[in-house]
Amino acid sequence: MSRSPRKSPNRSGASPAPPPPSAPVPTSPSGPARPRPRVLAAVCLLVLVQAALLVGLGGAWIADLLRGASQLPGATVFLVLFALGIAAALIFAVRALWHGRRWGRAPVITWQLLLAVMAIGWLGAEVAFWAALVLASTVVVVVGLLLPAVLAATSARAHQPDGGASGTRVA
């Protein structure tokens, strides 16, 4: 039985020297920070614009309600709450995507699919520039979220506590 000698980090017992200044500094528990893809920034910006438009739409419905222009006040209140709820969900999803968490993709893509169906319906009723713009934005967001660089950037932190259930194991 031969034993290999144990190697100590250094003979004085002191802790190792800090890394040189040129070494990347970890900014998160998962390691060094990686730059985010520009496509992810564009997708997040488009989704935030959609959320802002939902907030504006909710504000317009509130104004109608306060002026008495709404014929169905109960339905208007529902629409306001729905628009604000979807806007809040989109904002939280964008924040998750920006921080590299994969769970943010599902609500964003679900909303894009619903929005695309509505835009196709609007285009079927009347061809309008704004409806085509809505449809184009949904295509850009979905395709952007499914590009390999964005998938890699939003899947790297799956082991984090709020990274989703797919990163956990069942024994």
Is residue 44 a part of any domain in this protein? yes
pTM over 0.85: no
Is residue 56 a part of any domain in this protein? yes
∠ at Cα 69 (64, 72), nearest 5°? 90
Is residue 8 a part of any domain in this protein? no
Is residue 63 a part of any domain in this protein? yes
Total domain count for the chain?
A: 1
CA distance 4 to 90: 58
CA distance 141 to 139: 6
Q: Which amino acid is present at 151?
A: L
Is residue 118 a part of any domain in this protein? yes
- Taking residues 20-30, what's their average pLDDT? 46
The whole domain housing 85 covers 37-156
Pairwise pLDDT comparison (2 vs 63), residue with the higher score: 63
| pLDDT of res. 35 | 83
Pairwise pLDDT comparison (36 vs 15), residue with the higher score: 36
Is residue 123 a part of any domain in this protein? yes
From the list 143, 139, 54, 145, the residue with the least C-alpha distance to 94 is 145
